[in-house]
Amino acid sequence: MNIVMLGSPGVGKGTYAKILSDKYNIPRISVGDLFRKAIRDETELGKKIRGYVSRGDLVPDEMVIELVKERLQEDDCKNGFFLDGFPRTIAQAEAMEKFKKVDKAFNFVASDGVIMSRLGGRRTCRECGAIYHVENIPSKVEGVCDRCGGGLYQRSDETSQAIKNRLRVYREKTKPVIDYFRKKGLLADIDANYQFEEVDKVISQCERHLQNLSQDSRR
């Protein structure tokens, strides 16, 4: 099952992808993680990506496509993947058709108010990348990662102004991708307007579509 995870920043794609990845034993591929690794390793590409990410702008298509193409060619993706953060433009979607077939595109939908609350309260560990939320998933000790003891911080693209810019960029450049997959009959709208403790209600919607995919593949 090759599944694309769509939706605005902060809608919860990463959380849902991880839960589904664990349950179905196929990898979750996060483009954000690929970016952060390139930035952390201070590669030439990573240095270029840093500028775009810090402003909340989209990284140019050619950079993203090459990163994703290389990752999806690795052995652990042979049986499928949950792809979080790609494609974000029509050019990326069209490029992906040339190297990977998409079986379904999940479009997670939540209101702007929900998005602002989720992203504004998010904190990330500087060492291991673990994600917390000041209200929904607080660390045991404020500002300290439960997993590794690293310091928690608010990413530059999760300040109020950056969030507003990310939502604007999403509507202008990424939303057309939803129409692209809808026209191909591959889109599944998923209601993500649920609190953290109600995540099962989001996952159950995804599972219904995955079950239909499995049934179709056996026919």
Active site residues: 13, 88, 122, 155, 166
Tell me the three state secondary structure of residue 9.
coil
3-state secondary structure of 153: strand
Return d(Cα 187, Cα 184) in angstroms, integer.
8
Torsion sign across C-alpha atoms 25, 88, 53, 5: negative
Q: How far is CA 85 from the centre of its chain?
A: 4
Taking Cα atoms as reference points, which of 93, 72, 85, 123 lies closest to residue 5?
85
